[in-house]
Structure 1
Amino acid sequence: MKAAILAPVAWRTPPRHYGPWEQVTSNIAEGLIKLGVDITLFATGDSITAGKLDFICDKGYEEDRTQHAKVLECLHISNLMEKANQFDIIHNNFDFLPLTYSRLIKTPIITTIHGFSSQHIIPVYKKYNSIGNYVSISNSDRSPELNYLATVYNGLDTKDFEFNEHPGDYLLYFGRIHPDKGTAEAIEIAKKSKRKLLIAGIVQDERYFKEKIEPQLNEQIEYIGSSGPKKRNALLGNAMALLHPINFNEPFGLSVAEAMLCGTPVIAFNKGSMPELIKNKETGFLVNTINEAADAVEDLKNIKRIDCYNWATSQFSCDKMAADYFKLYHKILEA
């Protein structure tokens, strides 16, 4: 079976630091290669894969700002679609734009919907409902207007994470600095629970950082910048808990799965996919307020870290994700 996997071109696949869609796309590609699929990854030229690599730009537009994002995206998508007849199946991890080619080519397309940037894009998905082969990354992140083939949870390479039975005494916020992700709320939780908080992530909203986060930084609340894969394992594994007080219905939340793979429980606001990722009072706590989250910090002693690790390994591994997609590829091709 020959498959083309279309990645975004904002960042390298896999990313050096931030880039959740690129990370999952890489994990899909490498997992399927292990299963014997002949994979061509369409991504940036500096991307890394055990399969074949096809590209129209050396770097992503977020890493080389001299490039025009929309122009790059059009060139990137069309590069694959003009070669569509070379593949048995195309796996689209690049949102709705590639769907506009789907009735112009004969090769079937399977699309992983990594989240909806807004409701305005739903009409494009609706137009291709009958042939889209849509896959959601959580049951919570489904539009009632769309037809879905399956839900496949994002998978991580479990070898990249080390289980830590004996963590430090700090709480961790790990993600982009943005109101949606609840950085300010994490600070309030740390203050109420009188615990040290480390904040790691890219600053996506400069004004929010300057007004809500930076004035509160001190010895207790520390911002350590963006942390790539090498730092990630130690940061997550040594944390007593990951704070994830999101203010939106998050489609998945890679950092939640990453934390549990290190044995670290997660205290999250009960929104979006969180009830699917976290087993309440077993691998973390689902809460609704800052006060409830602070109380949950005191209850962390009741969580067995090995339970976090075992749950995450069984549900959110690359191997499981790749096997699930492998079955879907066959289902589409045999239809």
Structure 2
Amino acid sequence: MVGDVPGPGCRRRCAGLRSLRGPSRPTRRGPDLPHGGRCRRRTRHPPRPDSDDDRRVTPLPTEPVPAVPRRPRRPAPGRRPRASRPAQQRRRWTDGWADDRDGGGGGTVRIAVVGPSRLPIAPPFGGGLEVFVHHLVAGLRRRGLTVDLFAARGSIGHQAALEFPGIDWTGFEDLARDDAYPPGADETETESYVRVRRHLDSSDYDVIHNNSSHPVMLHPDPMGSPPMITTLHVPPQEPMQKAIDAAGSAAGRFTAVSRFTAAQWNLPTSPQVVHNGVDTRLWTPGPGGQGAVWFGRLTREKAPHLAIETCRRLGLPLTLIGRNADPAYFHSQIRPHLGSDVRWMGSLSPREIVRQVGLADVALVTPAWDEPFGLVSIEAMACGTPVAAIARGGVAEVLEDVPDHLAAPGCPDDLVRAAVAALRQPRAEARALATSRFDLDIMLDRYLHHFLGVLTP
């Protein structure tokens, strides 16, 4: 394309940039567009899905990621180290933002997303963090950004050459826990993080989005690593907190998944809160009518045995969904109680989980620890299934619009009361709470805003 007529890709990127920046303001090359509308880039849209079934699962693209150009590791003799990226380059990078929710893009912004190292970013997902990273990466790619994912072996669309080895409990199955390691795995994991950290330090990414709690990620190259935002998905962990204390402002910026989690950490700058989102195209309303559901990782800190006790007191059949992530706990607290009124379905595909949750009258969320957010709460509400929960950690924040659905910790009678209150909520009202506050596009908009904040002066 020649001349000053903007192409369709240009118009999409400009619209996305305007939506992120807010009201129009003058620029060097035009009153509204950052490059005056003179864009010769043309961007193609992929075809839209033909049916609702095509839209239900959002797999990550698996095409090879182009090689990352390396920039000089040390300044030339007689020159001062570069303190920051030039403002002119930052303006050029922001020209690549796109707000295309169905596909396409063509943006030039390159983001490195570092995921958790224990379990793959692939269905059936091992936990809420894996679900979060999957939807974040897929959503950013749909909006036209180039995203490289660093994640565990078996992930979809990740950088396989720098993948994390994951955790293999073969031979130690009875000791398996999500907060422990089999012999030698801790050291192997650290070595893989060191490789990834060195790669990122020598890369030309525009932003690093760190979703790991490993302390190695908090030690960037002082000579000029790309800017980094770390999202806090977990309560304070001593190794990570020590790394933050040692690095100070060099650790980068922080976001947290809830106000509760943000307040737990001691950080050099105040973290921004970005609530997790739910893909309301996948989590669709169901009819209810088949008792209660509990879904997530079956571990002692998630305490599904409390859901069993509550449902038996209410005379409700209960469906448990999720992987057995704590065999010792499962064999002592869950398996003896399975029967005609309590069934465990194990790990299911995302689509089957949506179906089962939509068939339930109420979802129970029973944390025995300070839950950082509680993704299952918004997933259930997106299906129109009301939620009753123990008010620990960020769960109380998620359900603050329905306080009578919250139970005091350590009080079984109050959890029964909260479940009865939740059963009275209209399903359309539960769905509306999820879509108005926690839709996936709301989360993506907020992360894009924070990414843009580290790229512009």
Normalised by the length of structure 2, the TM-score is: 0.67
Give the alignment of 1:1-335 within 5 angstroms. Answer: 1-44=109-152, 46-49=154-157, 53-56=158-161, 61-62=166-167, 68=185, 70-79=187-196, 81-84=198-201, 85-95=203-213, 96-103=215-222, 105-116=224-235, 118-131=237-250, 132-142=252-262, 143-146=264-267, 147-164=269-286, 166-281=287-402, 285-288=405-408, 289-335=411-457
Report sequence identity in percent: 25
1-structure distance, mates of 2:444, 2:231: 13
1-structure distance, mates of 2:254, 2:244: 9
Runs of 4 or more consecutive aligned structure 1 residues displaced over 6 Å after TM superposition: none
- Cα distance change on mapping 1:301 and 1:23 into 2, 3 Å: closer
Give aligned pairs, total: 330
- Cα distance change on mapping 1:57 and 1:15 into 2, 3 Å: farther
- The answer to which structure, 1 or 2, has the higher relative contact order (CA under 8 A, 6+ apart) is 1
C-alpha deviation, 1:62, in angstroms: 3.6
Q: Secondary structure at the match of 1:225?
A: coil
1-structure distance, mates of 2:163, 2:219: 25
Counterpart amino acid of residue 205 in structure 1: D
2-structure distance, mates of 1:270, 1:333: 38
- Cα distance change on mapping 1:112 and 1:221 into 2, 3 Å: same
- Cα distance change on mapping 1:322 and 1:77 into 2, 3 Å: farther
> 1:193–1:295: 8 Å Cα contact kept in structure 2?
no
2-structure distance, mates of 1:150, 1:54: 28
What are the Cα deviations for residues 15-51 of structure 1, in whole angstroms up to 9, with x where unaligned? 42313222211211122223322212222464334xx
2-structure distance, mates of 1:209, 1:64: 16
- Cα distance change on mapping 1:187 and 1:260 into 2, 3 Å: same
Counterpart amino acid of residue 92 in structure 1: N
2-structure distance, mates of 1:281, 1:106: 44
Counterpart amino acid of residue 207 in structure 2: I
Q: Secondary structure at the match of 1:56?
A: helix
C-alpha deviation, 1:65, in angstroms: 5.5
Structure ranking higher in strand proportion: 1
- Cα distance change on mapping 1:17 and 1:91 into 2, 3 Å: closer
Residue segments in structure 2 that go unaligned for 5+ positions in a row: 1-108, 172-183
Q: Secondary structure at the match of 1:179?
A: coil
What are the Cα deviations for residues 255-287 of structure 1, in whole angstroms up to 9, with x where unaligned? 1111011011111011101122114547x7001
Residue of structure 1 in register with 2:38 after alignment: none
> 1:156–1:316: 8 Å Cα contact kept in structure 2?
yes
- Cα distance change on mapping 1:241 and 1:27 into 2, 3 Å: same
Q: Secondary structure at the match of 1:94?
A: coil
2-structure distance, mates of 1:6, 1:58: 10
C-alpha deviation, 1:69, in angstroms: 5.2
Residue segments in structure 1 that go unaligned for 5+ positions in a row: none
Counterpart amino acid of residue 243 in structure 2: V
C-alpha deviation, 1:206, in angstroms: 1.7
Counterpart amino acid of residue 74 in structure 1: E
Which structure has the larger Rg over C-alpha atoms?
Answer: 2
Q: Secondary structure at the match of 2:372?
A: coil
C-alpha deviation, 1:115, in angstroms: 0.6
